[in-house]
């Protein structure tokens, strides 16, 4: 007959084991490599009444891609493999 102490240890260890198995392949963020190596971030356009948001958002988008490091930013659309265009509406 099993002792109550062994049974309680088993019951406590089982959820931990299930949690570890479930998280075995989890990755924080995205590890996928984009299909392009260079990106041009076009200046943001806006149909809203907040014209100052265009420059701010353009800068934040460029900074985010620089921090990410998976693509290099191009200076012109002609030299880039991909172009990101954003238009704010509202």
* pLDDT at residue 13 is higher than 70: yes
C-alpha distances in Å from residue 54, one per residue of 2, 66, 80? 69, 19, 21
pLDDT at 7: 75
pTM: 0.65
pLDDT at 10: 75
Sequence-distant (6+) residues with CB within 8 A of 57 are 44, 86, 88
| Top-confidence residue, 45 or 13 | 45
∠ CA 40-43-44, rounded to 5°: 120
């Amino acid at each position: 007959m099993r002792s109550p102490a062994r049974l309680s240890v088993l019951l406590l260890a089982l959820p931990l084991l299930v949690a570890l198995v479930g998280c075995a392949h989890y990755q924080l963020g995205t590890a996928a490599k984009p299909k392009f190596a260079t990106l041009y971030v076009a200046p943001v356009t806006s149909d809203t009444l907040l014209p100052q948001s265009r420059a701010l958002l353009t800068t934040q988008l460029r900074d985010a891609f620089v921090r990410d490091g998976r693509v290099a930013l191009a200076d012109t659309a002609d030299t880039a493999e991909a172009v990101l265009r954003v238009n704010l509406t509202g």
